[in-house]
Chain A
């Protein structure tokens, strides 16, 4: 299934915190990233791809275009998706993640805006975010392959051509050729894949000092 990247504008992260951010000691555990699509109209979202950086849980809310006169509402399409099985340890902390439309809780037919809500409850990490965020919509459908007619409708067997003088019987020749082909296949199959690897270049292994790059 092909996909086409949708140009998006990722706003900078906003930390949600109680109290005054400058004076409080603790680090925020919730961040919000807004993603808008200024140059594109409402589209059908196919896939979201990003690289995690120490985010433990991800929720996504989407605002879709409705044809009615009611204003577009925010709907949660992904709730508390776990990126790090143990928020205190490294597992999953820097992995690449792909989310598909079939994993979403709602239909993603006419997306206007996305809001990613990142949570990291562990106080051990200094910062967390998601990076290299990319949104994809469905690409044009690949043209269906049309089989040539003769594959699906084989021609009925023709009358054998009468034997020409001096030439061997074609059916006997074809059976002999088939036997020879079977033999070559057998030999090819038993051919070992073990390489006798050579480490030198044309018999010479006179080296410079080791390279540092």
Chain B
């Protein structure tokens, strides 16, 4: 294990070296991403050859029958996964982002008015607090919010009852745009599943259920190497989580089908990444025998299953759970693990977080930097997972309400900065990165909406 980790860091160091000498910015994006993708492909290929496991294998009939019988309880399976390792973890991805450079940008040693004191060195345009206040105007102090104005001390007649009534009306009208506007103030728990389905345009037609059954058949027929990675990821993350371990079987049912779904390939039209390609054995180079691997083009990384886990609280029917997750992935989650200059892309989110912290908590930022605890190193994992697994589930769902409502992931960066602001007093007293991580290790008691509201609307600037 140690050898693999040092190999990994060596290859990343090599990629970093290559990145430092590239030309145009757009080319840089492509080159950085290209090097990164190659690294991932190499890792998969080497896992394949070292463990002598094929990338894909047709299951014998006996094994197919066995899997079909066990379909609803795949969690009871305990395959030997010790030799498998996740292809990459968020911290590896962070190293790639840190080393993105624009060669036309003045990266001199002398401090100037625009020196980036954080980790991200790319000058993308990010919103400042006045612009964020305008963008998130419905989160303001004078607007009712679920997550704040539905607490036990507040009488429900003031806000909650009326809000629920409006929600029921929106559902009755089946108005998708109104639903999106509505969930900006939070969604009542009872209505959330339907509201999200309405916003994402998911309706369970018979053909959708048929499509899911077809994917299930594909899983039964072919065994992919990626399946073992998914198993390992679920066992390492969701199964160990107090809130999500009960959904382990659902996670397999969704993620195994997800990797067979070729319709996900459509999102690569607006994603800077490209799906890994291969050829049928013996037909190398022949385009008619070119296929994507895995069929949906997405290689899961460590923590990927956490994108699905919170949705299990809302949807219990596997095909609907599957559709919701797929739509959320191709709309939002893919941006969290690919390089682009999109305002909701992970690079912009990191820069937004660092800029907010630097501008509005300069003393804290300076202190953390001095002790070698760059704030992004701590908050990156929160943002890549959209806070799944770090917040309590009811708080997480309130946060994801706003992601859907505003159709943007910027709220993740704002929340990360708000968390730092909340724990600023403790953080000012730490003297090492490990101690800073310890202060911010447990976010499960945090209430998301008050933090956001205070940070955006009630902090004296």
Residues on A facing B (Cβ under 8 Å)? 53-54, 85-86, 88-91, 93-94, 123-127, 192, 194-201, 204-213
Contact = CB atoms under 8 A, between A and B. Distances in A.
B276 A207 contact: no
B207 A206 contact: no
A88 B291 contact: no
Contacts of A201: 280, 288-289, 291
B104 interface: yes
A157 B292 CA distance: 60
B38 A197 contact: no
B49 interface: yes
Contact of B263 (A126, A192, A197, A207): A197
6 closest A-B pairs by CB: A199-B295, A197-B262, A89-B125, A209-B45, A207-B278, A210-B41
A206 B282 CA distance: 9
B281 A206 contact: yes
Contacts of A196: 210-211, 214
B102 interface: yes
Contacts of A192: 205, 207
B123 interface: yes
A194 B207 contact: yes
A208 B222 CA distance: 15
Given A91-B125, A196-B211, A123 B279 contact: no
A162 B222 CA distance: 68
Contact of A89 (B44, B124, B222, B262): B124
A210 B41 CA distance: 6
A199 B277 CA distance: 12
Contacts of B24: 53, 94
Contact of A124 (B45, B56, B114, B208): B114
A205 B114 contact: no
Given A90-B125, A199-B292, A200-B222, A207 B55 contact: yes
Given A205-B56, A207-B280, A199 B123 contact: no
Interface size class of B (residues with CB under 8 A): 35 or more
Interface in B66-104: 102-104
Nearest to B217: A196
A89 B123 CA distance: 5
A91 B123 CA distance: 9
A101 B421 CA distance: 52
Contacts of B142: none
29 contacts: A54-B104, A86-B125, A89-B123, A90-B102, A90-B341, A91-B124, A93-B25, A124-B106, A124-B114, A124-B123, A125-B104, A125-B106, A126-B104, A127-B104, A195-B263, A197-B262, A199-B262, A201-B288, A204-B58, A206-B56, A206-B58, A207-B281, A207-B291, A208-B280, A210-B41, A210-B278, A211-B277, A212-B38, A212-B41
Contacts of A195: 262-263
Interface string B34-72: 000010011011001100001111100000000000000
A213 B205 CA distance: 39
Interface string B19-41: 00000111000000000001001
Nearest to B25: A94
B220 to A, nearest CB: 13
A199 B264 CA distance: 12
B2 interface: no
Nearest to A86: B125
B5 to A, nearest CB: 22
A85 B125 CA distance: 10
Contacts of B103: 126
B216 interface: no
Given A94-B26, A126-B104, A213-B277, 15 more contacts: A88-B114, A88-B123, A90-B125, A91-B125, A93-B25, A125-B105, A126-B105, A197-B295, A198-B262, A199-B260, A204-B58, A210-B277, A210-B278, A210-B293, A211-B41
A90 B211 CA distance: 42
